[in-house]
Amino acid sequence: MKKFLIGLLSFLLLVSPALALNISVSVDKNKVFMGDEITLTGKITFDNGTSSAFDYRAAVVAPKRIVVCDSNKTKTASDGTFSLKCKLPTAQEAASLGIPASDSRAVIPYVAGVAVKDPATNATVKKHARAILAVNQDKFSTELNGVSKSLDEFMTHAQNFVPECDQVAEKAARYNVTDVETQCLEIQQKVKDLITDAASLSEQAQQLESNISSSGIESFREALKTLRDDLKDLRNEIKDIKETIKSIKWEARKEVRKSQEELRNEIEEKRTEIKQQRMEIRDLRNRTRGVQSE
């Protein structure tokens, strides 16, 4: 009977399916400057949740499969966890390692991952983390400085436009051309909003020069895209109002007799109303963007 039970147990072990490996691996940063340090961490278990000390090898690899950091063959902790700290090469170090075009690249992509020996099959199982982008800080700073300069130039030109719009709105109010008055004040408020956005972006660019991060870059890129889209819309609106003003026969219109103070009060009331509407639109857009990012 004893021999029968042992034989049955041996048979069941042979026909039972081997447990597959469950491998998780990640890096603490996906966007860094060249020369920064990243940490690769992970855990290996069987798919039923049990853990063990596994044979593994972790590495960070550059283009052309050039290994920049390597744990060599070793074992995980008894719970299956492992980690690897890696200082990514500077542009000069990358060139000496033979990474192609290291001196001219603005960004070098790296792949971090782990190879694990499956104890049941002796096969090697590989798993990679998200790609790491190492940015050349000098080139990145040059690009950001260019963006900041363009934003500063825009703000200078935009600030000159604001008083011009006051004059147009006042003339339109005097001749009771309310659509032009409203349109001009709306454009003026949009310009003021864009000046505020541009100043905020210029400040973000300065912060990114010293502290690059995935969230910071994505936020900056999204805000810059929004600003460009808004500028495109603004150009079209300015073109429309210029054509409208040009088509008006001012000499044929009767001037409304109002004092300068009455005209200014009327314009200020309309400006306040437009500003409130713009704030509501911007709040709605920010909430929508927040929901989409979630």
pLDDT, tens digit (0-9, with 9 covering 90-100), for 148-196: 888 888 888 888 777 877 788 888 887 778 788 888 888 888 888 888 8
Sign of CA dihedral 153, 147, 196, 262: positive
Q: What is the mean pLDDT of the chain?
A: 82
CB atoms near residue 32 (< 10 Å): 21
- When comparing pLDDT for 281 and 56, which is higher? 56
- Answer whether residue 26 shows pLDDT above 90: yes
For residue 9, the model assigns a pLDDT of 40
* Percentage of residues in the chain having pLDDT higher than 70: 84
Mean pLDDT of 196-220: 78
Answer yes or no: is pLDDT of 15 > 60.
no
Query: Quick check: 71 and 84 in contact, CB under 8 A?
Result: yes
Strand pairing of 55-62 and 74-75? Answer: antiparallel
| Mean pLDDT, residues 270-293 | 69
Comparison of pLDDT for 181 and 82, the residue scoring more? 82
Residue 114, pLDDT score: 96
Give me the pLDDT at residue 59, please: 96
CB–CB of 42/54 below 8 Å? no
Contact yes or no for 155/194 (Cβ under 8 A): no
User: Under a CB-based contact definition with an 8 Å cutoff, are residues 127 and 23 in contact?
Assistant: yes
Helices assigned H by DSSP within the chain: 2-15, 91-97, 137-174, 178-210, 214-247, 260-293
Find the mean pLDDT for residues 113-131.
92
90 to 33, 37, 78, 101, 108: CA distances (angstroms): 8, 11, 35, 13, 10
| Chain Cα centroid distance, residue 132 | 14
Tell me the pLDDT band of 132, cut-offs 50, 70 and 90.
very high
All residues at 6 or more sequence positions from 91 whose CB lies less than 8 Å from its CB, including other chains? 34, 102, 103, 105, 136
With 80 as the cut, is the pLDDT of residue 28 above it?
yes
Whether the Cβ atoms of residue 195 and residue 159 lie closer than 8 Å to each other: yes
**Domains of the chain, first to last:** 19-135 (2.60.40.1930), 139-293 (no CATH)
Q: Are strands 55-62 and 107-117 parallel, antiparallel or unpaired?
A: antiparallel
> What length does the chain have?
294
- pLDDT of 63 strictly over 60: yes
pLDDT of residue 208: 79
From 15, 22, 74, select the one nearest 48 (Cα to Cα). 22
Percent of the chain with pLDDT over 90: 30
- Across residues 61-90, what is the average pLDDT? 95
Packing angle, helices 214-247 and 178-210, rounded to 10: 160
Asked whether residue 127 carries a pLDDT value surpassing 80, the answer given is yes
- Check pLDDT > 50 for residue 10: no
pLDDT at 89 over 90: yes
